[in-house]
Homo-oligomer: A and B are copies of this chain.
């Protein structure tokens, strides 16, 4: 189980992702490695950050998945974003930041403090990596809005799976055409603005079209190119 979530390479997901965003110096790597010695564990369904409460400080998701969600008071839930290993939570530049959404552990989550980027050290790639990471997050937000506002169920699921693949690949967690995906159909519904029933029917349609196999916590996209064309998917590239 934990093996499944861990990166296949010997490098940590965070190192994989951050150095993909910006070249890291030896000193950056040392700081990251050191930070990863100071781990915190959170059980599934427990909150890492709670809406309206102060954010303690930026942390790296070393292992496990989480999601950020907002509620409608009558009980409806909307997932804003999924957080996968290697990504950061609680990043905020201003003083006394307060969370705008609740971040909850989906699986058992391991985090460590995000290593500080020396603001005066121009050679540091960490600061740049964080900045690019923030820009990426904004891009994912925009795409999620587009997904929810202008795509049907079939397109939403496909588009999201393709994005998820790219995000996991960035952390070294997706290589061939399958990857771990611990969301239940209920959660996928809350993410994609659908009911779990309709998510199920949509996945069935995708399966019957030979596009994907979604098994227990695992997704296989049989023909990524075909799927990409179907929903006009283009990778996020606001970065490089």
Contacts and interface: CB of A to CB of B under 8 A. Distances in A.
A219 interface: no
Contact of A143 (B70, B131, B148): B70
A98 to B, nearest CB: 5
A74 interface: yes
Contacts of A42: none
Tallying the copies of this chain within the complex gives 2
Contact of A148 (B77, B135, B145, B239): B145
B146 A78 contact: yes
Given A135-B92, A142-B80, A150-B72, A238 B98 contact: yes
A205 interface: no
Interface in A63-86: 68, 70, 72-74, 76-80
A148 B149 CA distance: 6
A173 B9 CA distance: 55
Main secondary structure of the interface of A (DSSP, over half): mixed
Interface residues of A, number: 45
A141 B145 contact: yes
Interface of A: 52, 68, 70, 72-74, 76-80, 92-95, 97-101, 128, 131-132, 134-135, 138-139, 141-146, 148-151, 190-193, 232, 236, 238-239
Contacts of A141: 80, 138, 141, 145
A192 B149 CA distance: 7
Given A52-B238, A80-B145, 20 more contacts: A70-B142, A70-B145, A72-B146, A72-B151, A72-B232, A78-B146, A78-B149, A78-B150, A79-B149, A92-B135, A93-B93, A94-B134, A98-B135, A100-B138, A100-B236, A144-B145, A148-B148, A148-B193, A149-B192, A150-B193
